[in-house]
Amino acid sequence: MSEEILVNVTPMETRVAVVDNGATQDIHIERSARKGMVGNIYAGKVVRVLPGMQAAFVDIGAERTSFIHVSDIHVPGSDGRSRASDAIADYLHEGKKVIVQVTKDPLGSKGARLTTELSVSSRYLVFMPQSSHVGVSQRIDDGEERQRLQQLLAQALEQEEMTGQGGYILRTAAEGAGLEEIRADLRFLKRLWTVVSRRGKAARKAELLYTDLALHLRTVRDLARPGVERILVDSRESFTALQEFCSEYMPEVSGLLEHYPGERPLFDLHGIEEELQRALSRKVELKSGGYLVIDQTEAMTTIDVNTGSYVGRRNLEETIFKTNLEAASMLARQLRVRNLGGIIIVDFIDMRDEEHRRQVHRALEKVMARDPARNKITGVSELGLVEMTRKRTRESLEQLLCEECPVCNGRGVLKTAETVCYEIFREIMRDARAYDNDTLMVLATQGVIDRLLDEESANVADLEEFIGKTISLRVEPDNNPEHFDIVLL
Ligand SMILES: [Zn+2]
């Protein structure tokens, strides 16, 4: 397996694509406008203690002073937070230097909310330097797996000689992780924490000590696994930042980094832009001539496999078999690229041959096994639908890049001009009874007015006669063809 990671950086957004043998497997996007301060660690200075509120204002160098409550102050030795009944003045005084982490972004006139309980995270772990607890994410619900991870972490800590130096939480992503991966994470966290605490001790004024890694750095931390051949970065600045990051925390990855200085945009060159467009459309073409239709509802994702329009009769069964095989690998890739999770129902084209059915099922199992997100093929229903589940991780690509269509409100379909015309007729009847104006003017979109003047013209004439009033028509530009208005003149 030869994987490449492509990193495209602009001031507004960073996009990362994982390409495996030329096929895009994963796309990650982060927009700078959405990045808040939560998780950032600062050296701050107490500017005011508010005994009445059991809180204090802290300057962390942000526009507004930030806020800390006594219940968020770590008490050394207690391995837990201070109690709300403790007095804030016992811990903080004006001018005192404190190391704090942001738990809530500033909102309006309110400054950020802080804690002195610090934590930093890696791919599989959250490290809490002031604690000694070891916990497992609640989202890992398998009791055996929880126990295995606890033991694995204890073993890794021992091998890295890091036992008893802080607390840890095994994150949801740790599910299925091996010893070497946990050890690599521990080494990363140790280096990271050494840097953060050294900078904290040296800080003389309010200063940012640690920020959750930007996407391009996080990508390298999380995705630079064995099998990755190179990491291509199209921005000189980010490339340099990555080099520094790797030499400091992940020296084994440094050799994979490459700067892409080319004229042609990196994502165009590797067909990722095209892949992104495809990943946002409902229909996905297959080479065999067939296509997939992918529908996402709140409850589940359904994938319908279809043959192409022309299928020779002679090889029908063979064509269906090939289409289903291609569909299996394409749908697995689409699930990853779109980042779809939850319940997934696949409707393959019916196959008469028992052996073909078995092979398609096996092909699906094989491609899904390579998906890093936990997934399970749960069965084949009576109607031949394949049911599976895939773990939800990040937001789906669609949630990230799209919003509900304001025209159809997410239904995905619109009333036909014919339906709108009949609604107009009913409305005219109501209005004609309620008011005694001589003329009713219909305002509607071009398509609806066209229909009233053409196919429905006889009906409009009949209606005019029936109500004894004049109906006039006017085109009103509106991007929603369902909209219309009746004006009394
Ligand atoms: Zn729509």
> What is the tens place of the pLDDT at every residue in 189-228?
999 999 999 999 999 899 999 987 888 888 888 887 778 8
User: What pLDDT sits at residue 129?
Assistant: 93
CA of 299 to the centre of ligand 1 (A): 19
CA of 411 to the centre of ligand 1 (A): 6
Distances 321 to 172, 290, 355, 357, 378 between C-alpha atoms, Å = 37, 11, 10, 8, 22
448: which residues sit within 8 A by CB, 6+ positions away? 417, 420, 421, 424, 481, 484
CA of 410 to the centre of ligand 1 (A): 6
CA of 412 to the centre of ligand 1 (A): 5
CA of 281 to the centre of ligand 1 (A): 13
| pLDDT tens, position by position, 25-67 | 889 998 876 667 888 999 999 999 998 889 999 999 988 899 9
Dihedrals phi, psi of 106, to nearest 5 degrees? -60, 145
What's the rounded Cα separation, in Å, for the pair 280 and 424? 35
What's the rounded Cα separation, in Å, for the pair 65 and 44? 10
User: What pLDDT sits at residue 80?
Assistant: 54
User: What pLDDT sits at residue 8?
Assistant: 95
CA of 477 to the centre of ligand 1 (A): 17
CA 277 to chain centre: 16
CA of 335 to the centre of ligand 1 (A): 23
Map tokens 């962390």 to a residue: 60
| pLDDT tens, position by position, 437-488 | 899 999 999 999 999 999 999 999 999 999 999 999 999 988 889 999 999 8
Q: Sign of dihedral through CA atoms 469, 470, 476, 482?
A: positive
CA of 414 to the centre of ligand 1 (A): 7
User: What pLDDT sits at residue 82?
Assistant: 54
| pLDDT tens, position by position, 180-193 | 989 989 998 999 99
| pLDDT tens, position by position, 98-152 | 999 999 888 777 889 999 999 998 889 999 999 888 999 888 888 999 999 999 9
CA of 31 to the centre of ligand 1 (A): 25
What's the rounded Cα separation, in Å, for the pair 182 and 175? 11
User: What pLDDT sits at residue 79?
Assistant: 54
Residues in a beta bridge with 305: 292
What's the rounded Cα separation, in Å, for the pair 320 and 56? 69
CA of 397 to the centre of ligand 1 (A): 18
Q: Which helix (H) or strand (E) holds 47?
A: strand 41-50
CA of 398 to the centre of ligand 1 (A): 14
| pLDDT tens, position by position, 225-247 | 778 899 999 999 999 999 998 88
Dihedrals phi, psi of 335, to nearest 5 degrees? -60, -40
Distances 446 to 408, 460, 462, 470, 484 between C-alpha atoms, Å = 18, 16, 22, 20, 11
The pLDDT of residue 370 is above 60: yes
User: What does the DSSP assignment read for 308-369?
Assistant: -S---STTHHHHHHHHHHHHHHHHHHHHHHHT--EEEEEEPPP---HHHHHHHHHHHHHHHH
State which CATH number among 3.50.50.60, 3.30.420.60, 3.10.450.350, 3.30.300.30 fits the domain covering 3-35+214-272.
3.30.420.60
What's the rounded Cα separation, in Å, for the pair 461 and 471? 9
Give the confidence band of 276 by pLDDT, cuts at 50, 70, 90. Answer: very high
User: What pLDDT sits at residue 253?
Assistant: 86
CA of 482 to the centre of ligand 1 (A): 11
CA of 161 to the centre of ligand 1 (A): 58
User: What pLDDT sits at residue 345?
Assistant: 97
User: What pLDDT sits at residue 109?
Assistant: 78
User: What pLDDT sits at residue 404?
Assistant: 84
CA of 404 to the centre of ligand 1 (A): 8
User: What pLDDT sits at residue 383?
Assistant: 79
The pLDDT of residue 312 is above 80: no
CA of 409 to the centre of ligand 1 (A): 6
CA of 407 to the centre of ligand 1 (A): 5
C-alpha closest to that of 12 among 206, 215, 258: 215
CA of 280 to the centre of ligand 1 (A): 14
Parallel, antiparallel, or unpaired for β 439-444 and 484-488? antiparallel
CA of 285 to the centre of ligand 1 (A): 22
User: What pLDDT sits at residue 331?
Assistant: 96
User: What pLDDT sits at residue 88?
Assistant: 87
State which CATH number among 3.40.1260.20, 3.30.110.70, 3.90.940.20, 3.40.50.720 fits the domain covering 417-488.
3.40.1260.20
CA of 330 to the centre of ligand 1 (A): 26
Residues in a beta bridge with 475: 444
Give the confidence band of 366 by pLDDT, cuts at 50, 70, 90. Answer: very high
| pLDDT tens, position by position, 345-355 | 999 999 888 89
Residues in a beta bridge with 42: 100, 208
User: What pLDDT sits at residue 465?
Assistant: 95
CA of 62 to the centre of ligand 1 (A): 42
CA of 341 to the centre of ligand 1 (A): 23
User: What pLDDT sits at residue 232?
Assistant: 95
C-alpha closest to that of 102 among 218, 214, 210: 210
- Please report, for the chain, the start and end positions of each structural domain, with discontinuous segments joined by +: 3-35+214-272, 42-210, 282-401, 417-488
CA of 344 to the centre of ligand 1 (A): 23
Please compute Rg for the chain using Cα positions.
Answer: 30
C-alpha closest to that of 387 among 370, 364, 403: 364
User: What pLDDT sits at residue 169?
Assistant: 94
User: What pLDDT sits at residue 33?
Assistant: 65
User: What pLDDT sits at residue 163?
Assistant: 87
What's the rounded Cα separation, in Å, for the pair 440 and 425? 11
CA of 304 to the centre of ligand 1 (A): 20
| pLDDT tens, position by position, 371-427 | 888 899 988 887 779 999 998 777 789 888 888 888 888 788 899 999 999 999 999
What's the rounded Cα separation, in Å, for the pair 275 and 287? 15
CA of 444 to the centre of ligand 1 (A): 18
CA of 480 to the centre of ligand 1 (A): 9
C-alpha closest to that of 29 among 325, 339, 352: 339
User: What pLDDT sits at residue 310?
Assistant: 63
User: What pLDDT sits at residue 222?
Assistant: 80
User: What pLDDT sits at residue 30?
Assistant: 87
CA of 402 to the centre of ligand 1 (A): 12
Architecture field, domain 42-210: Beta Barrel (2.40)
